[in-house]
Amino acid sequence: MPDRLHISVVGPFAMSRECGTTVAPTGAKNQALVALLALSPGMSRPRRWLEDKLWSTFGPEQASANLRQALSKIRKSLGPLEDVLSADRTTVSLDPDRTQVDLLEGLIPTDKRTELLEGMDARDPEFEEWLRMERAELQTRFAQATPSDAKGILINCQVMTETPGQTRMIGDILTNQIGESIAEQIRAWRQSNADTEDEALLPSDVSIQCEIADMNDGVTFFLKCIHQPTSRILYSRVHTVSDLSQVLGWEESVSRIVFEAADTIIGKLPQVLDNNRPESRATALSRLALYRMFSFERDALREAYGLMNQAYKMDENGIYLAWSSLIRLIQQLELSEDDPAALREEAIDLHYRAMELASDNPLVHAIVSKVRGTALRDTIGVLDLARNALDRNPASAFAWKALAEAKMLGGDHDAALDASTRACQIARTSPFRHWWDTGHCVIAIACNRPQEAIRAAESAARAAPMSRPAHRHLLALYALEGEYDKAQAIADRMAKIEPGFTLDRIVNDDSYPVRTLRANGLLEPIRALL
């Protein structure tokens, strides 16, 4: 991966390479020039604009000469990264693909006294005015990001039916399970209908409504979620069951609708809630973090961890610690950082903290079971956590995946395959469905079901074309089946999406993250491509 330039503007100015070597130029004017570029749109500015900000009291010719001299000194300090800075007759730029700026990465310091470019004095009135405005913008971000008490999102659960008794109870079960699935992932409270008109209800943020009607072919449910202040519909779905026992038994299609409804609603909440509410900002940050995490790409995993950390600072909810623990585990498994042992230890520490803070959250149980299984090989503990998650939320694809991996760890491959199949079906409409498909592929391989493994891996690759784990397994599986043209095409694809990938590495490097393939002897067929 190309070396990158890291620039810190929050607090004292600093510049470094990816390896940590300092490359900041000497001189306030030179550092100010880099800061101006780093905080400019597209990291690019016209020469005249830069001259006006740093040499506003000089004539045009002298200002232009000073700029050329400053650019020369900056290039010299950059050393191997000198090509990150470019300049032509009209424009000066930094390469945004190879430049990381702390403020642009969403960093908000915890100490409000922290200033932008602390101590920088470029001795120019135009620069001082620019810096004053930028510092005011940072203070605005401080105010927006300052955590206040997260009161939680209020969810009203309503059932409308002309048939009382069992039918109404089933509707209550459905709406409350959707509400509970939402509350597993964000801070939220459920609110039932008032029994009488005299009972006052707090104004709710969202209403989950279930209309029930008896039909000739069974009972039909119309589920709808509405953002109450704006009446926007966040989710709606019609579903018919032939028998109410299908709901009580959490039949697969019913579970899928509950999981889909909660996932869709959570994805849309940041668009409708007041952004000044900490639970709203935390929800938006954590959702973005999940998209980054499930890409499995090195920089995206780093960003995911930072976003989840910010979410936790906004709203100290244990679910964000659980996700952070999983991110660290994925970074360890993907060998994306230089110290996998440190990542493992941090994942373990985070999963303990998550359990301490949210011991009653079934999703936390499902997530940390993965960490306990992979990092600690705790067969009994993993199964216990998975069962707890499933008992509390039988409609959770995460809980079923946790059970599948617990059974796998315990050597019950058939039960693992059944649980994984159910998890994949429930998560079929999730934007992260490749997470379940890839896991199912691994379990199918362990169960000696290569065709099922191929179908799962192909599904994962279609859903996430940049997913390295899915493509790694497809490569081995195609080679196993003698489909070498397909295997070679996957190898070519891997070379594009994974820096440093080679066929020799996947076959001969014992540290490469294909443990199940290696344990089952499925890497040998790849040698035909070497």
pLDDT digits (tens, 9 = 90+) for 19-30: 888 999 999 999
User: b/e string for 99-125 if b means 16 or more Cβ within 10 A?
Assistant: bbbbbeeeebeeeeeebbbeebebebe
Element (H, E) at 505: helix 503-508
Local structure of 266: helix, strand or coil: helix
* Lowest mean per-residue pLDDT among 110-114, 319-323, 420-424, 521-525: 110-114
* pTM over cut 0.85: no
pLDDT digits (tens, 9 = 90+) for 24-75: 999 999 999 999 999 999 999 999 999 999 999 999 999 999 999 999 999 9
User: DSSP secondary-structure letter at 498?
Assistant: S
Distances (CA, A) of 431 to 184, 267, 303, 435, 456: 18, 10, 19, 9, 15
Contacts of 28 (CB under 8 A, 6+ apart): 120, 121, 122, 123
**Structure confidence at residue 150 (pLDDT):** 67
User: CA geometry: angle at 433 spanning 429 and 437, to 5°?
Assistant: 130
Q: Which residue has the tokens 């955590």?
A: 147
Dihedral of the CA atoms 114, 119, 121, 127 (nearest 10)? -10
How far is 310 from 26, CA to CA, in rounded Å?
Answer: 33
Concatenated DSSP letters for 426-493?
Answer: HTTT-TTHHHHHHHHHHHHHHTT-HHHHHHHHHHHHHH-TT-HHHHHHHHHHHHHTT-HHHHHHHHHH
Find the mean pLDDT for residues 297-302.
87
CB distance 277 to 268 below 8 Å: no
**Structure confidence at residue 199 (pLDDT):** 45
Domains of the chain: 5-145 (1.10.10.10), 154-195+202-267 (3.40.50.11830), 432-530 (1.25.40.10)
pLDDT, the chain, mean? 90
Give alpha helix (H) positions in 79-231. Answer: 125-145, 166-185
**Structure confidence at residue 143 (pLDDT):** 59
pLDDT digits (tens, 9 = 90+) for 179-199: 999 999 999 998 866 444 444
Distances (CA, A) of 231 to 114, 159, 204, 222, 510: 41, 18, 12, 17, 56
Q: Is the predicted pLDDT of residue 148 greater than 60, yes or no? A: no
Local structure of 86: helix, strand or coil: strand
**Structure confidence at residue 198 (pLDDT):** 43
